[in-house]
Amino acid sequence: MKRVNTRTAWERMAIVHDKTRPTIRDYLPLVFEDFYELHGDRGVGDDGAILGGIGRICGTPVTIIAEVKGRNIQENKASNFAMPHPEGYRKALRLARQAEKFHRPVICFIDTPGAFCGVEAEKRGQGEAIAKNIAEFMSLKTPVISIVLSEGGSGGALALGVCDALAMLENALYTPISPRGAASILWKDASREQEACEVLHITAEDMVEFGVAEAIISESDTDVVNDLYKISENMKEYLAKIVAEKSKKDIDLLLKERYTKFRKIGVFI
């Protein structure tokens, strides 16, 4: 029988914020083979918040782009707590275009509280960088698969979220604004974060309901949480299948379906 995740968004938030939550650096060696990291946006520098490179999944060459959470303070300092600067998004776009050239599928891992909010990020055009990624990924002539690992915050997540198929790890959350930020704007009271968590509808099941995600990747057969090996196994199985499926598609049809996937999201009367 299929296990149902009955946890509230707030409980899931505690799980994904726990220090035992695996990060892309944990998953990489278990899901991919022959991984080579590639650095830099060829303009400003190399943003540690976004990891990029090439490797294989079950033998198929792919490009991997991921937001990087740290596992300790040093790693978090190097990756700026997974909050990318514009050059991070531009690095992602550079690698995506390279993937297009070599007909490699792109696999994006979303794992960020949001794009970095700072003076330098504004000076270098955070808004433009995100906008450009969204628009360019929309017409990228190669399959794009995105997975939300723990949290996807706002435009900083969507910059890696324009894809042919989006999967959520079962406890992952996807939000238009951090619940804390929402509480502080809505009720001028950031301490009502838990309440905001529930009213915003941010769980994996919500994403499937709204047509934002197509799949939920199970994290465990039991109630154990943050089980690296089990998650990696299920993630690899999902990716191998979806990459093969999307790679077979005619590219014009794939792009049409990608457009339609986003085109139909919206509720109005």
Q: Give 99's DSSP letter.
A: H
Neighbours of 81 (CB within 10 A): 15
Look-up of token digits 């799980």: 15
Structure tokens at 147: 């997975």
- Nearest distance, CB of residue 148 and another protein, angstroms: 11
- Select the residue interacting with another protein from 15, 106, 108, 182 (CB under 8 A): 182
- Nearest distance, CB of residue 223 and another protein, angstroms: 26
Q: What's the gap between Cα 154 and its chain centre?
A: 11
Give burial (CB, 10 Å; 0-12/13-18/19+) of 102.
exposed
- Select the residue interacting with another protein from 126, 142, 150, 234 (CB under 8 A): 126
CB 78 within 8 A of CB 72: no
Neighbouring C-alpha atoms within 13 Å toward the C-beta of 176: 10
Per-residue mark of binding to another protein, 139-178 (x: CB under 8 A)? x--------------xx--xx-xx-----------xxxx-
> Is residue 185 at the binding interface for another protein, with CB under 8 A as the rule?
yes
- Nearest distance, CB of residue 136 and another protein, angstroms: 8
Structure tokens at 103: 């007909």
Neighbouring C-alpha atoms within 13 Å toward the C-beta of 38: 19
Q: Which is nearer to another protein, 212 or 243 (CB)?
A: 212
Q: Which is nearer to another protein, 146 or 226 (CB)?
A: 146
> Is residue 117 at the binding interface for another protein, with CB under 8 A as the rule?
yes
Chain residues in the site for another protein (CB under 8 A): 115, 117-119, 121-128, 130-132, 134-135, 138-139, 154-155, 158-159, 161-162, 174-177, 181-182, 185-186, 199-202, 206-207, 210, 212, 259, 262-263, 265-269
